[in-house]
Amino acid sequence: MPEIPVTAGPSAVDRLEEFATEWQSLDRDERVPAFRSLDPTMASDFFLGLESADRAALVGELIPQERRVWIRLLPADEAADLIQDVDEELRISLLALLDRNMRAEVEALLIYREDVAGGKMNPRYARISPEMTGQQALAYLRLQASEHIPLISYIYVVAPDDRLVGIISFRELILTPPARPIREVMNTDVVTVPEDLDQEGLAQVIQRNNLLAVPVVDPEGRMKGVVSIDDVLDVVREEATEDIQKLGGLEALDTPYFQTDFRSMIRKRGGWLSILFVGEMFTATAMSFFEAEIEKAVILAIFVPLIISSGGNSGSQASTLVIRAMALGEVGVREWWRVARREIGIGLALGVLLATIGALRISTWQLAFGSYGDVFPRLAATVALSLVGVVAWGTLAGCSLPFILRRAGFDPASASAPFVATAVDVTGLVIYFSVARLILLG
């Protein structure tokens, strides 16, 4: 057998990888020339690998002749996603660039929201009839393959009225004896999803059932299309990015970091920052109630940041855990009490831990520098006891806020670390100064 040379392939792939990384860091106006400089094969590989929002932005900046080439390269579901991402005017002119069949398919998809199963599905899929034999099915599949129907591991067995009656994998199909009818070998226990299932639910169905693709059916069980796992991979990533950004105390950006302009940055960050600031103003109000106490013992003011930040930090830990567990379906909406019961115990234990460190710190400074004079034992007791209270309360509030937000119809991920900190700072101050009034000031 002749030696087969190692192909030049991998280096083209590496070049694509490299270009894609570079491109991400280009400014908006540098992108079109960079894209145009690619050779045709690499340009189409690159275009197909882009996320929908990036693709829409790019197509928006091209001239109509180029747009025609690129939009026609996409399968119907991805063309529909792109068209949903551009403004009204461009939408109409992009639709006009499609051929008649494709336009009809894309328009059918545009009635679905982009983030539900109907909007994610590809209306073209490999289908056979239950009455075909193994040989007929393979021949029919060959015909569909020549018409650019995507083949992703499963073939759908569909009745003449479009109802999905079974599914057969490639493996099973090529093992089916030529004369055997498909209905005798197909699997009838099919996982399907409704057209309006949201994308998070879609990801869970695919992941839990270990699928590579899932058929979308209407309430009568008629096939509408197929969602493939690679569409879901993008969803999982996008949803995680949104949650992470919300957890950082800002609105989700929708666009990559360097593509987000100054104005949107200020809007997405300034909004939440102002809300948090107004919330945090209550600390000034709370502290002014205790002005007399601070005047009597200025030393009290010194520990304010330490005490309230401990409540915020423990609260942020608890809320983060609950938010992610909710997103993954590990914790249900009705399990507040089950969570709260655990968290009270954990909060008290963590409070005792910090109280011990805090008391040690104060005792060390007293022994080394005599920093606190006569009030030392009462100060140490005040700080330690406040820490137990503040950390336990922070933990309980942190684990409860996602449930409260969800119940009120908001995204639980809005219970970000800054949000929780703001929510518990005022109570932290009240706990601290109340304990101080009792112990330190008698």
What residues numbered 73-112 form the site for its own copies, per CB under 8 A?
none
Q: Which of 274, 333, 407, 410 binds its own copies (CB under 8 A)?
A: 274
Site for its own copies in 157-216 (CB under 8 A): 159-160, 163, 165-166, 169-171, 174-175, 183, 187-192, 203, 205-212
Site for its own copies in 42-61 (CB under 8 A): 45, 48-49
Segment interacting with its own copies, rule: CB under 8 A, options 32-40, 61-69, 223-231, 404-412: 223-231
On whether the CB atoms of residues 385 and 219 are closer than 8 A, the answer is no
Calculate helix-pair angle for 229-247, 304-327, nearest 10 degrees.
160
Site for its own copies in 137-156 (CB under 8 A): 138, 141-142, 145-146, 150-153
- If one asks whether residue 28 binds its own copies (CB under 8 A), the answer comes out as no
- If one asks whether residue 241 binds its own copies (CB under 8 A), the answer comes out as yes
Closer residue to its own copies (CB): 107 or 196: 196
C-alpha to C-alpha distance for 125 and 156, rounded to whole angstroms: 8
Residue type, 84: Q
- If one asks whether residue 248 binds its own copies (CB under 8 A), the answer comes out as yes
C-alpha to C-alpha distance for 362 and 274, rounded to whole angstroms: 36
- If one asks whether residue 262 binds its own copies (CB under 8 A), the answer comes out as yes
Site for its own copies in 334-373 (CB under 8 A): 335, 338-339, 342, 345-346, 349-350, 353-354, 357-358, 361, 371
Closer residue to its own copies (CB): 101 or 146: 146
Element (H, E) at 169: strand 164-169
Closer residue to its own copies (CB): 100 or 171: 171
Report the DSSP pairing between strands 193-194 and 127-128.
unpaired
Site string for its own copies, 109-128 (x = CB under 8 A): --------------------
CB of 85 to its own copies, least distance (A): 18
Closer residue to its own copies (CB): 88 or 317: 317
- If one asks whether residue 233 binds its own copies (CB under 8 A), the answer comes out as yes
Number of H helices, E strands in the chain: 21, 6
CB of 18 to its own copies, least distance (A): 11
- If one asks whether residue 130 binds its own copies (CB under 8 A), the answer comes out as yes
On whether the CB atoms of residues 375 and 299 are closer than 8 A, the answer is yes
The one-character DSSP state at 173 is H
On whether the CB atoms of residues 253 and 246 are closer than 8 A, the answer is no
- The separation between CA 317 and the C-alpha centre of its own chain, rounded to angstroms, equals 19
CB of 96 to its own copies, least distance (A): 27
C-alpha to C-alpha distance for 169 and 213, rounded to whole angstroms: 11
- If one asks whether residue 24 binds its own copies (CB under 8 A), the answer comes out as yes
**Phi, then psi, of 416 in degrees rounded to 5:** -70, 165
Closer residue to its own copies (CB): 64 or 345: 345
Find tokens 């820490």 and name the residue: 387
Report the DSSP pairing between strands 213-217 and 193-194.
parallel
Q: Which of 59, 106, 417, 423 binds its own copies (CB under 8 A)?
A: 417
Q: How many residues bind its own copies (CB under 8 A)?
A: 147
Distant-in-sequence, close-in-space partners of 199: CB < 8 Å, separation ≥ 6: 115, 116, 117, 120, 232, 235, 239
Closer residue to its own copies (CB): 2 or 87: 2
Calculate helix-pair angle for 304-327, 336-369, nearest 10 degrees.
150
- Looking at the DSSP bridge assignments, the partners of residue 133 are 181
Site for its own copies in 276-335 (CB under 8 A): 276-278, 280-281, 283-284, 287-288, 291, 294-295, 298-299, 301-306, 308-310, 312-314, 316-317, 319-325, 328-332, 335
On whether the CB atoms of residues 56 and 71 are closer than 8 A, the answer is no
CB of 142 to its own copies, least distance (A): 5
- If one asks whether residue 247 binds its own copies (CB under 8 A), the answer comes out as yes
Closer residue to its own copies (CB): 13 or 104: 13
Total residue length of the chain: 442
Q: Which segments within 191-271 are labelled E, that is strand? A: 193-194, 213-217, 223-228
Q: Which of 98, 137, 250, 424 binds its own copies (CB under 8 A)?
A: 250
Residue type, 330: E
